[in-house]
Amino acid sequence: MIEVKNLYKIYNQHKKNEFIALNNINFLINKEEIVLLKGVSGSGKSTLLSIISSLQKPTSGDIIVDKEHVAKLPDLHASNFRNKKIGYVFQDFNLINSLNVYQNIMISLIPQNLNNKQLDEKILNVLDIANIKHKKDELVSNLSGGEKQRVAIARALVCDADILLFDEPTANLDKQNSLKFLKILQIFKKLSKTVIIATHDSIFEQSNLITKIIYMENGQIL
Ligand code: ADP
Ligand code: ADP
C-alpha cells in the first residue's frame, strides 16, 4: 500500500544551514495496517507524513502509494492524488473557525459537484461516524479540542480516502479525549482504512489494533 525506498529530505541543501531531516528511510506498510510513527519532536515524523501525502517533495528516493510514484507526480496531479487517496489530520486541525461544522466538511466536497441531497447524505454520515453530528450547526470556534478533532476526522473521511495520516493526534487533547481517540481506531479498522499516526504519546501502546511501530531518531529508522 505504502512503500518508501531510500528516502532523503535535506532542507536548505548546499547552504550553510543544510539539515538532513530524513536520512535513508525504507519501510513497507500493507493495506489496512494501523501504524505508529514514534520519535521525539524533531525526529522527522511530520516531514515524512508530508512527503507521503505529497504536500512536499523528497530530495531523493521513492514513495509508492497504491502503485503511484508519489514523489514524481507533477503538482496538479499531486493535489488530485491527495484529495482522492489521503485524509490528513493536522495537529492543530486546520479547520476554519468562522464557519460551522457542516460547512467545514462541505468545503472538501466542492470539487465533486454534488447536489444538496448528496452533500447532506455524505456530510451527515461522516459527522455521525466521528460522533459530532449533534454539533453540526455550531461554529468551530465554539468547540472544545476533542470536538475540533472529531470534525477534522470527519473531514478526512468524507472524501473516502483509503489512507489516513495523523500528526500528533493527542497533542492538544486531555487524557479523556485521548482515550476517545483510541476508540476511534476501531472505526478506522472497520472502515478498512490504512492509518499512520505520528506521535510521541505512549497512550497508543495500549491499543491492540496497532500492527507496526516505526521508531525514528534524527531522521533515521531505528
Ligand atoms: P517531528 O515531526 O518529528 O517533530 P519534523 O519533521 O517537523 O519533526 O522536523 C524534523 C527536523 O527538520 C527538525 O529539526 C526541523 O527543525 C527541521 N525542519 C522541518 N521543516 C523544515 C523546513 N521547512 N526548513 C528547515 N528545517 C526544517
Ligand atoms: P473542554 O472541556 O474540552 O475544555 P470546553 O469547556 O471548551 O471543553 O467546552 C465544553 C462544551 O461547551 C463543548 O461542548 C463546547 O462545544 C461548548 N462550548 C464552549 N464554548 C462555547 C460557546 N462559546 N458557544 C457554544 N458552545 C460552547
Domain spans in the chain, listed from the N-terminal domain onward: 31-46+84-221
Distance (Å) of CA 115 to CA 46, 99, 120, 130:
36, 20, 9, 23
Given the C-alpha cell 532542507, which residue does it identify? 11
Pocket test for ligand 1, best of 19, 20, 168, 220 (most atoms within 8 A of CB): 19
pTM (predicted TM-score): 0.87
Backbone angles phi, psi at 33, to 5 degrees: -75, 155
Pocket test for ligand 2, best of 95, 101, 142 (most atoms within 8 A of CB): 142
Q: Is the CB of 21 under 6 A from ligand 1?
A: yes
Q: Per-residue pLDDT tens for 21-38? A: 999 999 999 999 999 999
* Distance in angstroms (rounded) separating the CA atoms of residues 98 and 188: 29
Spelled out in words, what is the top-level CATH class assigned to the domain 31-46+84-221?
A: alpha beta
Q: Is the CB of 40 under 6 A from ligand 1?
A: no
Q: Which atom of ligand 1 is nearest to the CA of 219?
A: 10
Q: Is the CB of 39 under 6 A from ligand 1?
A: yes
Q: Which atom of ligand 1 is nearest to the CA of 50?
A: 6
Q: What is the pLDDT of residue 206?
A: 86
Q: What Rg value do the Cα atoms of the chain yield, rounded?
A: 17
Q: What is the pLDDT of residue 172?
A: 84
User: How close is the Cα of 57 to the center of ligand 1, in Å?
Assistant: 14
CA dihedral 176, 207, 181, 28 (to 10 degrees): 150
Q: Going by CA atoms, what residue is nearest to atom 19 of ligand 2?
A: 142
The answer to whether the CB of 155 falls within 8 A of the CB of 110 is: no
* Distance in angstroms (rounded) separating the CA atoms of residues 201 and 203: 5
Q: What is the pLDDT of residue 76?
A: 85
Distance (Å) of CA 186 to CA 125, 168, 195:
17, 18, 11
Q: Is the CB of 58 under 6 A from ligand 1?
A: no
Q: Which atom of ligand 2 is nearest to the CA of 177?
A: 3
135 DSSP 8-state letter: G
C-alpha cell at 149: 478533532
Q: What is the pLDDT of residue 109?
A: 93
* Distance in angstroms (rounded) separating the CA atoms of residues 182 and 169: 10
CA dihedral 13, 11, 68, 43 (to 10 degrees): 140
Q: Going by CA atoms, what residue is nearest to atom 12 of ligand 1?
A: 21
C-alpha cell at 154: 470527519
C-alpha cell at 186: 476501531
Q: Is the CB of 42 under 6 A from ligand 1?
A: yes
Determine the 3-state secondary structure of 170 from DSSP. coil
User: How close is the Cα of 145 to the center of ligand 2, in Å?
Assistant: 9
- Could you list the pLDDT tens digit for every one of the 222 residues in the chain? 999 999 999 999 999 999 999 999 999 999 999 999 999 999 999 999 999 999 999 999 999 999 999 999 998 888 888 888 999 998 889 999 999 999 999 999 988 899 999 999 999 999 999 999 999 999 999 999 999 999 999 999 998 999 999 999 998 888 998 998 999 999 999 999 999 999 999 999 889 999 999 999 999 999
